Amino acid sequence: MSDEETLESSSSDNESGQDDFEDPDFVAENVSDDDDDEQPGPSTAPTPTTSRRRPSQRGRGRKDQAKTRSRSPAQSAAQPEQSSEPWKTETDPDTAPQASRFMPRRPPGAQVDLHSGHTPKDLFLLYFAADTMRTICRNTNKQAARNQQKGSKYQWTDVDVEELHRFLGLLIYTSLVTLPSIQDYWKQSHILTARWYRTLFLHFLDMGTTNAYILHCDISATQQVTPMTHKNFVAELVAQLCGVTQTGVPLQKSTSHVSVAIANVAEAKDKATAGRRVCQRCKQVDKKRFVTPWKCKACDVALCVIVDRNCFEEWHK
Rounded to whole angstroms, the Cα distance separating 8 from 186 reads: 115
Q: What is the mean pLDDT of residues 146-173?
A: 91
The verdict on 205 and 273 lying in the same domain is: no
- Tell me the average pLDDT of the chain: 76
Render pLDDT for 1-21 as a digit per residue (tens, 0 to 9). Answer: 555 554 454 555 554 444 444
Rounded to whole angstroms, the Cα distance separating 218 from 212 reads: 10
Range of the domain at 161: 120-242
The verdict on residue 92 lying in a domain is no
The verdict on 263 and 232 lying in the same domain is: no
The verdict on residue 62 lying in a domain is no
Does the pLDDT value for residue 137 go beyond 70?
yes
Give the pLDDT band of residue 50 (cuts 50, 70, 90).
Answer: very low
Asked if 24 and 30 count as a contact pair (C-beta separation under 8 A), the reply is no
The amino acid that residue 266 corresponds to is: A
Render pLDDT for 97-125 as a digit per residue (tens, 0 to 9). Answer: 888 887 777 777 667 887 778 899 999 99
The verdict on 224 and 130 lying in the same domain is: yes
- Residue 125 region, left (φ>0) first, then alpha (ψ -120 to 50), else beta? alpha
The verdict on 221 and 288 lying in the same domain is: no
The verdict on residue 60 lying in a domain is no
The verdict on residue 278 lying in a domain is yes
Phi first, then psi, for residue 26 (nearest 5°) are: -65, -40
Domain count, the chain: 2
Give the pLDDT band of residue 96 (cuts 50, 70, 90).
Answer: confident
The verdict on residue 247 lying in a domain is no
The verdict on 183 and 233 lying in the same domain is: yes
Give the pLDDT band of residue 83 (cuts 50, 70, 90).
Answer: low
The verdict on 223 and 154 lying in the same domain is: yes
The verdict on 164 and 263 lying in the same domain is: no
Q: Which residues of 108-130 are buried (b: 16+ CB within 10 A; e: fewer)?
A: eebeeeeeeebebbebbbebbee
Rounded to whole angstroms, the Cα distance separating 51 from 45 reads: 8
pLDDT recorded at residue 36: 46
The verdict on residue 162 lying in a domain is yes
The verdict on 137 and 234 lying in the same domain is: yes
Phi first, then psi, for residue 51 (nearest 5°) are: -80, -20
The verdict on residue 16 lying in a domain is no
The verdict on 136 and 226 lying in the same domain is: yes
The verdict on residue 291 lying in a domain is yes
The verdict on 220 and 170 lying in the same domain is: yes
- Residue 265 region, left (φ>0) first, then alpha (ψ -120 to 50), else beta? beta
Using the 3D structure, point to which of 242, 269, 290 is the last residue of a domain.
242
To the question of pTM greater than 0.75 for the whole model, the response is: no
Does the pLDDT value for residue 180 go beyond 90?
no
Rounded to whole angstroms, the Cα distance separating 298 from 178 reads: 14
Q: Angle 3-22/24-36 helices, nearest 10 degrees?
A: 70
Q: How does DSSP assign the chain, residue by residue? A: --HHHHHHHHHHHHHHHHHHHH-HHHHHHHHHHHHHSPPP-S-----HHHHHHHHHHHHHHHHHHHHHPPPPHHHHHHSPPPPSSPPP-TTS---PPPPPPP--SS-SS--S-TTS---HHHHHTTSS-HHHHHHHHHHHHHHHHHHHHTT---------HHHHHHHHHHHHHTTTPPPSSGGGGS-SS-GGGS-HHHHHHHHHHHHHHHHHHHHHHHHHHHHT-PPPPHHHHHHHHHHHHHT--STTSPP---TT--EEESS--SSGGGTTTTT-EE-HHHHHTS----EESEEETTT--B--BSSS-BHHHHHT-
Using the 3D structure, point to which of 242, 277, 303 is the last residue of a domain.
242
Asked if 217 and 123 count as a contact pair (C-beta separation under 8 A), the reply is no
Using the 3D structure, point to which of 180, 208, 242 is the last residue of a domain.
242
Render pLDDT for 22-42 as a digit per residue (tens, 0 to 9). Answer: 444 444 444 444 444 445 555
The verdict on 272 and 234 lying in the same domain is: no
pLDDT recorded at residue 111: 77
The verdict on 192 and 288 lying in the same domain is: no
